[in-house]
Structure 1
Amino acid sequence: MPKDSSSEKQSFTAPTVLRRPTRLGDEVYNAIYAQLMSHKIAPGGRISVDNLVRELGVSQTPIREALSRLETQGLVVKRHLVGYSAADQLNKSRLEQLYELRLLLEPFAAAKAAITMSDASIEALESMAQEMKALEAEDPQTAYGQFAQRDSEFHDLIAAGSGNELVREALSNLHTHVHLFRLFYHSQATSEANDEHARILCALRARDADAAAEAMRSHIMRSSERFATFFTRYPRAS
């Protein structure tokens, strides 16, 4: 008697899903990020996906993924029926408010991190500091955006080390570093910041909460002075 084919169990092999290498997505993101930081894509300027496809030699998919990622960082704005554009420039009032909030939160986070941060996290900070120091010898146009990314990671890791997730989230939502470093190219911003980072690290390694808070406070105040010179040079930008 013939077997009912509907009752037979059929074995099959599930199709293999090929994933796009994450490296390509990162490279596209870094390329667009660098254009935003260097003002090749000017603040407020429209971003053409088709132009980026031709320029970078990739499909629309990794470009749109990168733009969505940049949107979450506050660097890119997407408007319905208009498309993507670069976020507007930070103004003087916003800069002052940003630094007021940083002075309230980051010295506190550094003091807490000096007590609660793990040795492994401090070692990770030291590696980041070394990477930032090495960037001083690189091409400034390329290295500046990379420094901004490492600087953001450095401060975020200290905030995470404080153990206070609300403080970390608040600082993360400011998108501080991308907006500051996009303000204008400041040749001293990298070398001076590296020296200031070294003092913060010294206090963290010593587990000295007061020294960590003071080193962070000094770093933020000096950073404020560096970037405020933009509005002295270009008063109309205020």
Structure 2
Amino acid sequence: DPDSGASGVVRYSLVNHPANDFDIDEKTGQIFTVSVAGKSGTFDLEVQAADQGTRQLTARTTVKVTVDASSRNNIVTVVLNQKVNMVERNIAEVKRVLAANLAWNIYVIAVHADGLQGKARSSTDATYVEILAFDEANEVPAEAVKSKLWERKSTIETQLEKVFSAPVTAAVEEPPEDSATPELTATIVLGVLLACTLAALLVHVVLTVKRRRYRDRAEVMTGVDNPCVTGSNGSLKN
């Protein structure tokens, strides 16, 4: 806006957008995602530009935003020790700091106050920022993003402290490790069942042998005591 003073200051906003999927930087007009996890497609956003003069002038336009379906495996969660409303308010700056330090295009997928799998955290001073990194048109693998985040951790925290005007810690949330994979679990179960089966078979064999020995001994004893099966000299008849 070539006007001077307040009339030359333009502020941007989203109009008729009740959902919390997108937000806009009121100073630059940059649109960014807030929470589009699991969503894809084209979204029509109505953007308004207004100067700050006494007789405020406004203009509106429709912006089409396309969200591509991305692999959940490459989403990385950055945990900041700041309240969620403060992070949402400064999300454009958070995104800028991450992009500058990682040297990749950063897309914010979601900002929320609970951890993995919707489990609420005891502290309210923790915000989880889910991001995707792109190198040109390709997703950057999550492990590469995590490695660079740890490498640049100190610098990222220093720059974010200027954004929030408070001490900042930035960590990478790791998903919980399963105690055993399904294949390993199946192997363990089958191994236990096989061991139980062999043990039962062994017990059955031992009992069968004992029964046969006991029966044979009983028959011998019966033959000795029964005169019908002995000869005149007391020996067993054939």
TM-score (norm 1): 0.29
Greater strand share, 1 or 2?
Answer: 2
Structure ID, larger Rg:
2
More relative contact order, 1 or 2 (CA 8 Å, 6+ apart): 1
Greater helix share, 1 or 2?
Answer: 1
TM-score (norm 2): 0.29
